[in-house]
Chains A and B, each alone.
Chain A
């Protein structure tokens, strides 16, 4: 067994204790969260499978996690920073400003992309065994989180290269990582469930990602958005996430204000809608997949 599974060592059995099962209409929904906990070992094994497969299939393995953000950063730096001459505030190197925004963006887009297709992609398992289907999108998201940690390490290297050190604000980074995950998982759960019934929802995901890049402050700073439009702009939850990342990593050089709050409301709303819809439809997944 490879080392990567050693985290499972202390995982308990999925079927502990006394075994008495009652199956009746509506029963699955009433024991939902307890069941999810009982199947935590399956979650870990599926996450381990996805991670292993991802880095096995490609020739350069982990390299992919580095190349994608690195190349995008080069393009942004050259085109916007040098050629278009967009300003970089507070003496923060433009490269670092772009990279700090790119990290949450790639986390969001890969979470949305992978998790939304996870259930439809697990048809074989869904029609043959029982487990809480919520495991699929969350196990898939582990791959994105590992890619993200690799990119984070790359940022650290860049900061050393540019001799730029973050201050105490970096301690708040986990809050914004969680926010990024929540912002992605809400719509991802909704799309994952819809994808089972209507396969054309998978075409929506690339569109959201492409469109999202233009309305999120990845290649620009929110400072360029006129004051009057901030409240509308702030509805995009990615604004709060990305500016939050900048605030943590760039010594507070970010455009954060009360106008990002509607975005948090959107995150909460999408999370609630995604979870509710997923839970309501998941017991019919096996019938329609």
Chain B
């Protein structure tokens, strides 16, 4: 293993056996009753010759993680993003050794501390002082280490006056502050953090984020799972997106990962009820289909094809025009393009009757990220058939290959990222 790799994950999978339709038994009595019932069922299945049902019963395999691989470099701060159920927690539990993987291997190079919760093991009857030692030991600090940092921890928590009071008399805020103060003073080489920042008041959260930033600033590796995108943005420079237990966007620049995540979080069917109808006194339009057809030559990053199918009818001589508006993930209007920009549709006076048109998106112009493409249509200079912002929309994800030049190796800042001509005069 390369010495500047802190965490290396290879083909990690985790399967949970879950009951198909029925709930797993919570008590032994239920299990016995269930065993009796399923024994009968299995006998019946055997009698029918259905060997599979006889051995398998109602159990189903649920792959919480499937074939996940990535490498975290030493000193890198990685944000793990994904919806609920994407496999984030399972990944964290495996990295923290709380549960074992079913397949695959993880290699961790360095002293690890995982923080899946603040205040794990806190006991109400014990004083603040005693809980600092208890919680510290649970998080993997030695007694000598805790004693050395004790004053700092107490000062950070701001509960000096109550340090010898049982924590059952603390307010929930004080409790969280004390717990977080202990956690913030962990000094591992690799820190694995779950959504613990969701607790506590905003002010204290800020303080903790700052403290953790110090941690990552000192060359420590941070592996951070959160729904709080702004916390992830503050703390991490790279990200990985999980979806249904698999890697959706590989570990890379955080901005790209967040763009895809935000695009996917929006409902996919937004405004897309087909056929989509538009009508005014100059004409009518029916959109049957508006979709992305990936470029057949996927090696070249120069085109993603959009296709539009529909029916246009002129009521007068006014030509009917179809186009798209493209917006960035932040909602900024990037461009508008109409089919009559091209010679073909100048010649045909827009669209008429059954039409099937394609648009090639210039991916060597647009920067990496996610974009919203919204269909528009008008009777030429006479009024909208499908006004801007109301038509069906698509999400376009641009993840270009950096094969323009061997020197262009990573995403560039800016709304667009065209390859311009540089001349040596």
Chain A interfacial positions (CB closer than 8 Å to B): 1-2, 5, 8-9, 11-15, 19-28, 41-42, 45, 49, 52-53, 56-57, 124-130, 194, 198-201, 283-284, 286-287
For B97, give the chain A residue with the smallest CB separation: A130
How many contacts A-B (CB < 8 Å)?
125
Which residues of B lie under 8 Å from residue A128 when comparing CB positions? 98, 116-117, 120
For B13, give the chain A residue with the smallest CB separation: A25
Given A14-B140, A125-B121, are A24 and B104 neighbors across the interface (CB < 8 Å)? Answer: yes
Once bound together, how far apart are the Cα atoms of A132 and B37, in whole Å? 36
Asked if B301 lies at the interface with its beta carbon under 8 angstroms from chain A, I say: no
Which residues of A lie under 8 Å from residue B41 when comparing CB positions? none
Asked if B189 lies at the interface with its beta carbon under 8 angstroms from chain A, I say: yes
Q: Mark B123-163, 1 if CB is under 8 A from A, else 0.
A: 10110011001100111101111010000000000000000
- B103:A23 contact, CB within 8 angstroms: no
Asked if B275 lies at the interface with its beta carbon under 8 angstroms from chain A, I say: no
Once bound together, how far apart are the Cα atoms of A177 and B44, in whole Å? 53
Q: Mark B1-38, 1 if CB is under 8 A from A, else 0.
A: 00000000000000010000000011111010000000
Which residues of A lie under 8 Å from residue B140 when comparing CB positions? 14-15
Chain B proximity of A289: nearest CB distance (Å): 10
Q: For window 266-286 of chain B, which residues contact chain A by CB distance below 8 Å? A: none
- B100:A201 contact, CB within 8 angstroms: no
Which residues of B lie under 8 Å from residue A9 when comparing CB positions? 143
Chain B interfacial positions (CB closer than 8 Å to A): 16, 25-29, 31, 93-112, 114, 116-117, 120-121, 123, 125-126, 129-130, 133-134, 137-140, 142-145, 147, 189
Once bound together, how far apart are the Cα atoms of A21 and B192, in whole Å? 14
Given A49-B126, A52-B126, A198-B28, are A12 and B100 neighbors across the interface (CB < 8 Å)? Answer: no
- The one of B98, B121, B143 that contacts A41, using a Cβ cutoff of 8 Å: B143
Chain B proximity of A196: nearest CB distance (Å): 11
26 A-B interface contacts by CB (under 8 A): A1-B129, A5-B133, A5-B143, A14-B142, A15-B111, A19-B109, A20-B107, A22-B105, A22-B106, A22-B107, A22-B108, A23-B106, A52-B125, A53-B123, A53-B125, A56-B126, A124-B120, A125-B138, A128-B98, A128-B116, A128-B117, A129-B138, A130-B97, A198-B25, A198-B31, A199-B27
Which residues of B lie under 8 Å from residue A198 when comparing CB positions? 25-28, 31
- The one of A13, A23, A286 that contacts B95, using a Cβ cutoff of 8 Å: A23
Which residues of A lie under 8 Å from residue B116 when comparing CB positions? 128-129
Closest 10 CB pairs of A and B: A198-B28, A130-B97, A13-B142, A45-B137, A23-B106, A21-B108, A200-B27, A19-B111, A24-B105, A128-B116
Which residues of B lie under 8 Å from residue A24 when comparing CB positions? 101, 104-106
Once bound together, how far apart are the Cα atoms of A221 and B84, in whole Å? 63
- B130:A286 contact, CB within 8 angstroms: no
Given A125-B121, A198-B31, are A1 and B107 neighbors across the interface (CB < 8 Å)? Answer: no
Residue among A9, A23, A49, A284 with most chain B CB within 10 A = A23
Chain B proximity of A192: nearest CB distance (Å): 14
- A194:B107 contact, CB within 8 angstroms: no
- A129:B98 contact, CB within 8 angstroms: yes
Once bound together, how far apart are the Cα atoms of A176 and B139, in whole Å? 37
